[in-house]
Structure 1
Amino acid sequence: MEVGTPVGVVAAQSIGEPGTQLTLKSKHAGGIIGLDVTQGLPRVEELFEARTPKVLSPLSEISGKVRVAETEEGWKVMIASVGKPKEEREYLIAKTVKLVVEDGQLVDVGTALAGASLDIKEVLSVRGLQAAQEYLVNNVQGVYESQGIPINDKHFEVIVRKMSDKVKIATAGDTPMLPGELVDRATFEEENEKVLAAGGEPASAQQIVLGITKRALFTESWLSAASFEQTTDILTEASTSGREDRLLGLKENVIIGRLIPVAESAAALPLA
């Protein structure tokens, strides 16, 4: 792939166009052989928007031995650590959800306890960033494959990478960043390197995953963000704070009628 290729647009088209087939196929199959319609396009939307599933499986936060007890409220799954220090976690799972662990079983950190969808935020917290990214890619790919629609993983990976390229500042240290601010991971690391080189205190941050709708609003280009949602709010904030748009992306250049920065045109632009 050459420098200047609009990989985001290519990925969106590669996923979006087959999505129309996915909608039709899942509805048709649902009426004929009883497939769960919610596993079609709604499932893809749930994953790309990083929504919490209505029915989900908790993840074990510790390694240990499982004890299962049946209660009126549901299955009570207790996990006690085997070594030291002694830890114990307790989870309540509805009886309508199938357990995938047994009494006396040894489990590792991040083990799913029931046969249901996972909350991507919990996957990120317990298993880490790479596991969360792989979960999104594999599950979206699984929906398309179940309908016989082949799509290269790289297109999903481009989208998921943008969903997970922000961090939320916890403590600012001696950097100009503010607690609660969402910044690019690269910017966060760059600012910390500057502070450490000067002998200052670095900032700390929490990795996050944003749904594609919310992620589109957190872009460096206020023109691009304003063309999507919350136009009035974004334009007001940009004007009152004196924000500058460097016109490095496709959308902002289309909006003002400039040549879009792809292929040879991209070579004239500074690297973002």
Structure 2
Amino acid sequence: MLANIKGKIIYGNIYNNYRYIYIVNNMGYKKKYKISLKKKILFKNKERINYGEKIIKGSINYNNLINIKGINYTQINFIKKLKNIYSTQGVNINNKHFEIIIRQMCNFIKVIKSGNTDLLMNNIVTNEKFYKKNKNIKKYRIIINSGDSKIYKKNNIINIISIKRENYFLKLKNRKCIKYIKCNPAIGEINIKGITNTSLKNNSFISVASFQETTKMLNKYSIKYKTDKLKGLKENVMLGNLIPSGTGFYEKKK
């Protein structure tokens, strides 16, 4: 359990084997927490706590930490924890190896609001797909008044170029133009996945099939007529291609 706000801890009443505590900030805003009596509270009554600090003893939920402290802080914290595990065994590993793994684990976004995109709420999608959908929706507008247009109707989501073209012809005929507003992008939050889930949610079916249940995965994707665009490192290595990195990246671009 992590503190969502910065302030002073105030112990509250005990009820049904739970202690209620409050964090009160300088503005007087109060945040309530329900804690089992079996859990050890790390702060005494009236002690100050910063946001993102652990309230009780135990492991950190990194999905919560991201929402409170941000992605950069979370990744640095993650690397420190992992390095500490290996250093106690006398093993020194360069940060770059952890950074690559953690980057893949943080490569997913949970959709909080779908906006005007076709993403579904609470779905978990890759960063690439999420930002691609949001970039694409910027090219569209919602029609709030169709004017004298016979092509488009109210609430239609239409490409801005098509709307401007229609308005151009309406102006030539002295007709009412279409009125429109910007589309709402999707809103999401980073969702950390374990190594297994990360590998199985890869866009490349070759990479997924190489991880586990190879026959099952190949059958599944062959039924779907799935096409692998070979954008990642692993699938290109498996097929003996140049990897899309360094000099190989520019060859791909050409």
Q: Tell whether the structures are fold-level matches, with TM greater than 0.5.
A: yes
Match of 2:38 in 1: 94
Q: Secondary structure at the match of 2:56?
A: coil
Letter in 2 for 1:127: K
Q: Secondary structure at the match of 1:89?
A: strand
Q: Kindly provide the CA deviation profile for residues 181-229 of structure 1, in whole angstroms up to 9, marking residues without a partner as x.
A: 4322233223212212323221122210011111001111111101212
Letter in 1 for 2:85: V
Query: Contact (CA 8 Å) 1:120, 1:132: kept in 2 or not?
Result: yes
| Correspondence list, 1:1-272, <5 A | 58-68=1-11, 76=19, 78-82=21-25, 83-92=27-36, 94=38, 97=40, 99-199=41-141, 200-255=183-238, 257-261=239-243, 264-270=247-253
Q: Secondary structure at the match of 1:167?
A: strand
Q: How far off is 1:133 after superposition?
A: 1.4
Letter in 1 for 2:241: L
Letter in 1 for 2:60: L
Q: Which moved more, 1:182-191 or 1:71-80?
A: 71-80
Letter in 2 for 1:66: I
Q: 1:77 to 1:59 in 2, by over 3 A?
A: farther
Distance 2:253 2:73 in 1: 33
Match of 1:4 in 2: none
Pairs aligned (count): 211
Identity, in percent, stands at: 25
Distance 1:215 1:168 in 2: 14
Q: 1:177 to 1:235 in 2, by over 3 A?
A: farther
Letter in 2 for 1:259: N
Query: Contact (CA 8 Å) 1:77, 1:93: kept in 2 or not?
Result: no
Distance 1:192 1:72 in 2: 46
Query: Contact (CA 8 Å) 1:69, 1:75: kept in 2 or not?
Result: no
Distance 2:75 2:188 in 1: 18
Query: Contact (CA 8 Å) 1:62, 1:79: kept in 2 or not?
Result: no
Q: Kindly provide the CA deviation profile for residues 64-113 of structure 1, in whole angstroms up to 9, marking residues without a partner as x.
A: 32234797987836123243444322323535x4x431111021222212
Distance 1:195 1:243 in 2: 25
Q: Which structure 1 residue ranges, 5 or more long, are not aligned?
A: 1-57
TM-score (norm 2): 0.69
Q: Secondary structure at the match of 1:193?
A: helix
Q: Kindly provide the CA deviation profile for residues 2-44 of structure 1, in whole angstroms up to 9, marking residues without a partner as x.
A: xxxxxxxxxxxxxxxxxxxxxxxxxxxxxxxxxxxxxxxxxxx
Give 1 or 2: higher strand fraction.
2
Q: 1:168 to 1:154 in 2, by over 3 A?
A: same
Give 1 or 2: higher helix fraction.
1
- Determine which structure has greater relative contact order: mean sequence separation of CA pairs < 8 Å that are 6+ residues apart, divided by chain length: 1
Q: 1:115 to 1:180 in 2, by over 3 A?
A: closer
Q: Secondary structure at the match of 2:211?
A: coil
Distance 1:77 1:235 in 2: 52
TM-score (norm 1): 0.65
Query: Contact (CA 8 Å) 2:10, 2:46: kept in 1 or not?
Result: yes
Q: Kindly provide the CA deviation profile for residues 130-167 of structure 1, in whole angstroms up to 9, marking residues without a partner as x.
A: 23212211100111222232222222111111110111
CA RMSD of aligned residues (A): 3.0
